Amino acid sequence: MVIQQPYGVYGYRFQDSPALPIYQLFATGYQEVKDADYYWDGMKRIDGPLYLFQYTVSGFGQFRLGEETYDIPSGTAFLAEIPGDHHYCLPRSSDHWSFYFVLFRQQHLQKLWVELLQAVGVTPSFDPSSAVIHTLKALYSEARGNRIQNSYQASALIYRLIMELLQSSTLQQQEKANWPQQIKQAAAFMEAEYHRLQSLDDVASAAGLSKYYFTRMFTKTTGISPMDYVTKLRIEKAVHLLRSSSLSVEDIAYAVGYSSGSYFSKVFRSRVGFPPADFRLAKELPSIDRLQFD
């Protein structure tokens, strides 16, 4: 009985109008390398311009970007731009390197790529059970099963992978269980006192930190500033009151912590897209009982 290996590399060259905002898949694969000659130089490749995402399943490889060199062990990925001042290889200290990879054209993706690097970094780590790796494996599975038949299918798969990558950073920041105790205390204080907070001094005091250090630490941990967090709480409560009470817009403004109905209306419209009165009447939009904000 011959056991079929799961490895393979699949390339795509769909012809589309450059004007269409379609993300072009160049190749995807699952490989295991054991040869010490495995080496890719980002400045010598002729298949670019491309973006590369490569994730280690077992063993480890090495990735150099500029002056920095990184080991890429199991559970770690690297992102590279081709052409670029980098190389990746199987170092002598590693007996093998198995990995999934995706290569895609840069066209229409430059801004997302910059945002992605800012969000996850050059060598991010992902749990094998994470949504990112599930999506990566699903993309490879579609390719291996010969189910990517046109550029639209390929583009949708690339978009989903990039969105999962971007979301992974947001979820990591937003997962309260991972927040430092001082930030948890500050968040709990804001959730209880949002309707009467006048400044950040009281919140920083509740966290036992200086206002400057607290603001920086809270923003780094949660992905939003303390005042944005307070605004989020106030607008979520205002949505509930607009739908479930007969309070006037002015009274709701005071109830959630704003000193005037006009300023509340301005903030509400900037976040929701409609003035509070129109939102209450469901004018020009479906009736919504709860809104989720990031």
Mean pLDDT of 56-60: 95
Answer yes or no: are the C-beta atoms of 187 and 204 closer than 8 Å.
Answer: no
Measured in whole angstroms, how far is the alpha carbon of residue 173 from the centre of its chain? 10
pLDDT at 142: 95
Task: Give 60's contacts (C-beta < 8 A, 6+ positions apart).
Answer: 71, 72, 73, 74, 76, 91, 94, 97
* pLDDT given at position 173: 56
Count of CB atoms situated within 10 Å of the CB of 220: 11
The per-residue pLDDT for 18 is: 67
In the chain the first and final C-alpha atoms are separated, in Å, by: 53
Mean pLDDT of the chain: 87
Assign 115 a pLDDT band (cuts: 50, 70, 90): confident
Q: Which pLDDT belongs to residue 216? A: 86
Highest mean pLDDT out of 36-45, 92-101, 235-244, 270-279: 92-101
The domain over range 225-294 is classified in CATH as 2.60.40.10: no
Cβ-contact 279, 268 below 8 angstroms: yes
In angstroms, the CA 240 to CA 78 distance is 44
pLDDT at res. 244: 85
Closest CA to 182 of 206, 200, 159, 150: 206
* pLDDT score of 6: 87
DSSP secondary structure, 220-288, as one string: HHHSS-HHHHHHHHHHHHHHHHHHH----HHHHHHHTT-S-HHHHHHHHHHHHSS-HHHHHHTTTS---
- Separation CA 57–CA 31 (nearest Å): 10
* Closest of 212, 215, 167, 206 to residue 184, by C-alpha: 206
Please report the pLDDT score of residue 172 as a whole number: 58
Q: Give the pLDDT of residue 171.
A: 59
Looking at residue 288, its pLDDT comes to 56
Could you give the CA distance from residue 111 to residue 78 in angstroms, rounded to a whole number?
Answer: 18
> What pLDDT does residue 5 have?
66
- Please determine, for residue 59, whether its predicted confidence score (pLDDT) is greater than 60: yes
Domain segments of the chain as ranges: 8-174, 179-223, 225-294
Rounded to an integer, what is the distance from CA 186 to the centroid of its chain?
25
What's the confidence (pLDDT) of residue 2? 43
What pLDDT is recorded for position 290? 58
Contact in structure between 180 and 220 (CB atoms under 8 Å): no
- What value does the mean pLDDT take over residues 173-198? 84
pLDDT at 289 over 70: no
User: In the predicted model, is pLDDT for residue 178 greater than 90?
Assistant: no
As a whole number, mean pLDDT of residues 5-31 equals: 87
pLDDT at 22 over 80: yes
Query: φ, ψ for residue 163 (rounded to 5)?
Result: -65, -40
Of 181, 68, 177, whose CA–CA distance to 121 is shortest? 68
Prediction pTM value: 0.63
More confident position, 284 or 106: 106
Nearest to 149, CA basis, from 240, 25, 244: 25
Question: 4 pLDDT exceeds 60?
Answer: no
Question: Greater confidence, 278 or 97?
Answer: 97
| Residue 212 to residue 184: CA distance in whole angstroms | 17
* CB-facing half-sphere around the CA of 260: CA atoms within 13 A: 3
Residue 52 · residue 101 · CB < 8 Å:
yes
What pLDDT shows up at residue 126? 87
Report the pLDDT value the prediction gives residue 27, as an integer from 0 to 100: 93
Report whether pLDDT(111) > 80.
yes
In residues, how long is the chain? 294
Superfamily of segment(s) 8-174: Regulatory protein AraC (2.60.120.280)
Query: Which DSSP category does 210 fall into?
Result: -
* Burial of 112 from C-beta contacts in 10 A (0-12 / 13-18 / 19+): middle
Q: What does the pLDDT read at residue 284?
A: 47
